[in-house]
Every structure is written in structure tokens, then in C-alpha cells.
């Protein structure tokens, strides 16, 4: 039951995040225009909220998948869920760095870690 409550909690927070996108937003000329301007990496913003919520959701999901699906111990499930979630967050930042004028954001990783911690707290209590 707690698992279901935590999943519903994160889904309620994640669902309103996508914006209304139009086909022209994905055109090549628009992408060049967006990546050419380097924006400051702020501590509070929509991007950080997405990192927090998605990391929390992934932690809850992977923990319950490993714990219930494979009947593993609580400690093993914690290690698995944290490892998967945080490694995907680091991989995303490496991918961002490789884009033209991209950057590796340590601030995003902080919010990934916070989301992982809160998700783990919710799913294990």
C-alpha cells in the first residue's frame, strides 16, 4: 500500500510538468538557436524539479521491482535502486556535457540525490 501511495504522489507531481510543445519547437534551426545561448545554471528551476521528481519515482519503482519482483533483501534492494537511479542521472549529465555548448551540472546531481533519498524514504517506511 505504501508503495502505491508513493507512486501516486510522484505521478501527481510529475504529470503537470510537460509543456505544450509544437512541431516547430523540434526543428533543427530552433535547436541550434537554443543551444547557442548559454543560460546560467540556477539552483531553483523547472529542470531541478524534474530531476528531483523523476529520481524519486525511479527509486521507488526500482526498489519495489527488485524487492517484490525478485524477492531480495531490503539492503540489496536499496543498493540496487540507488545505484540504478544515480548512475542514470550521472549518465544524463555526461550526455548533456557532450552536446554543443552543453555542461555537466553538479546542481542537477544534487537534486537527483535528494529525489533518490526522499523516494527511498517513502518506499521503505
Could you read off the pLDDT of 43-88 as tens digits, one per residue?
A: 988 889 999 999 999 999 999 999 999 989 999 999 999 999 999 9
Asked if residue 24 has pLDDT above 60, the reply is no
Number of domains in the chain: 1
Q: Cα–Cα distance between 71 and 68 in angstroms, integer?
A: 5
What pLDDT is attached to residue 36? 46
What pLDDT is attached to residue 104? 92
Asked if 120 and 82 touch (Cβ cutoff 8 Å), the reply is yes
Average pLDDT over residues 27-44: 63
What pLDDT is attached to residue 40? 81
Average pLDDT over residues 4-25: 55
What pLDDT is attached to residue 83? 95
**CA distances, 79 to each of 67, 92, 122 (Å):** 11, 20, 15
With cut-offs at 50, 70 and 90, classify the pLDDT of residue 3. Answer: low
Q: Is residue 29 a part of any domain in this protein?
A: no
Surface-to-core class of residue 72, CB atoms within 10 Å of its CB (0-12 exposed, 13-18 middle, 19+ buried): middle
Q: Is residue 103 a part of any domain in this protein?
A: yes
What pLDDT is attached to residue 91? 94
Q: Is residue 27 a part of any domain in this protein?
A: no
Average pLDDT over residues 81-99: 93
Q: Is residue 110 a part of any domain in this protein?
A: yes
Domain that residue 105 falls in: 2-16+45-124
Amino acid at each position: 500500500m505504501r508503495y502505491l501511495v508513493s507512486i501516486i504522489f510522484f505521478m501527481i507531481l510529475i504529470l503537470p510538468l510537460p509543456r505544450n510543445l509544437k512541431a516547430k519547437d523540434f526543428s533543427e534551426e530552433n535547436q541550434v538557436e537554443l543551444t547557442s545561448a548559454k543560460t546560467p545554471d540556477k539552483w531553483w528551476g523547472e529542470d531541478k524539479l524534474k530531476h528531483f521528481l523523476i529520481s524519486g519515482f525511479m527509486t521507488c519503482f526500482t526498489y519495489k521491482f527488485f524487492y517484490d519482483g525478485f524477492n531480495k533483501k531490503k539492503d540489496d534492494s536499496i543498493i540496487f535502486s540507488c545505484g540504478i537511479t544515480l548512475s542514470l542521472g550521472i549518465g544524463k549529465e555526461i550526455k548533456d556535457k557532450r552536446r554543443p555548448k552543453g555542461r555537466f551540472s553538479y546542481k542537477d546531481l544534487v537534486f537527483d540525490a535528494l529525489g533518490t533519498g526522499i523516494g527511498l524514504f517513502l518506499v521503505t517506511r
